Amino acid sequence: MAQSIRKVGVVGAGQMGNGIAHVCALAGFPVLLNDTSPARIKEALATINGNMTRQVSKNIITEDQRKAALKNIGAAEKFEAFADCDLVIETATEKEEVKRKILAELCPVLRPEAILATNTSSISITRLAASTDRPEKFIGIHFMNPVPLMELVELIRGIATADGTFEASKEFVKKLGKTIAVAEDFPAFIVNRILLPMINEAIYTLYEGVGNVEGIDTAMRLGAHHPMGPLELADFIGLDTCLSVMQVLHEGLADSKYRPCPLLVKYVEAGWLGRKAQRGFYDYRGEKPVPTR
């Protein structure tokens, strides 16, 4: 019988972390949210409240559900607060050394039977598991952004992940009302292995002057029925994240087709990371986004 997950900890209160806390709390799980400063946790709680209020106005949830969910979320200023959690999900930035450091610091405070998960979108689960004291209790639970809206979760086992860990994680994801895609532990898993090279190719199309920003996005929206053009999507994801995933693919699979476009590198070096930086392939500082090329 698989162990059951009752209480959840989330490390990182950014876009992914607050989204994960949001869906866990709505599904009735007590959740503790951690970040580097109390101010960031406070900001995340305000974002969650705002997002839930929007769900109420769209009749997705009721006001009572919103109130009950908010009561389920608490702040964890230190990792010690996770001592009684059954599952802790790490959602830090997509850099392996940052994730490894967090995982190493988490392990000593967790119960031996607690499951440790990472929300990485591209890094090897087997490698991350090796930096913990519980590789058999370690798994990849990759949520899509924005978490409350996206129906899919990728579940990725490392080479050492135990069956019990996998089954418990599967049950947990089902309780959140999400659909599971099981991926093998290869660079970028399923979604990003397909999506990011497409975005990278769109940036090459821009770089080589085949089309401008508007032309490329309109072509894919209306010609392939994508809800959002690839360059607009890149800005939404964050160009630094796009570059990180392409680098993981390029290094991990050693195939030139995954070479990050030099224009993507240049935008990241300029600090034009997309929406969060107010500039990327579009400039977001005015009334409406304006293409930067």
The tokens 């940036």 sit on which residue?
A: 203
Alpha-carbon distance of 229 to 108, in angstroms, equals: 44
Q: Strand, coil or helix: what is 95?
A: coil
Amino acid at 157: R
Which token pair is 199? 């975005």
In total, the chain counts a number of residues equal to: 293
List the catalytic residue out of 34, 154, 232, 244: 154
- Specify whether 72 is catalytic: no
Q: What angle do CA 235, 182, 142 make, to 5 degrees?
A: 35
Q: Strand, coil or helix: what is 227?
A: coil
Instruction: Return all residues near 144 (Cβ < 8 A) that are at least 6 apart.
Output: 150, 152, 153, 191
Q: What angle do CA 83, 5, 45 make, to 5 degrees?
A: 65
Which token pair is 243? 């570059």
Which token pair is 223? 């010609």
- Specify whether 214 is catalytic: no
Q: In angstroms, what CA-CA distances link 271 with 24, 231, 266, 274?
A: 33, 16, 9, 9
Q: In angstroms, what CA-CA distances link 269 with 17, 262, 280?
A: 26, 10, 11
- Specify whether 192 is catalytic: yes
- Specify whether 200 is catalytic: no
- For the stretch 21-57, what's the b/e string if a residue is b when 16 or more beta carbons lie within 10 angstroms of its beta carbon? bbbbbbbebbbbbbbeeeebbeebbebbeebbeebee
List the catalytic residue out of 72, 142, 169, 244: 142
List the catalytic residue out of 72, 119, 121, 122: 121
Annotated active-site positions, please?
121, 142, 154, 192
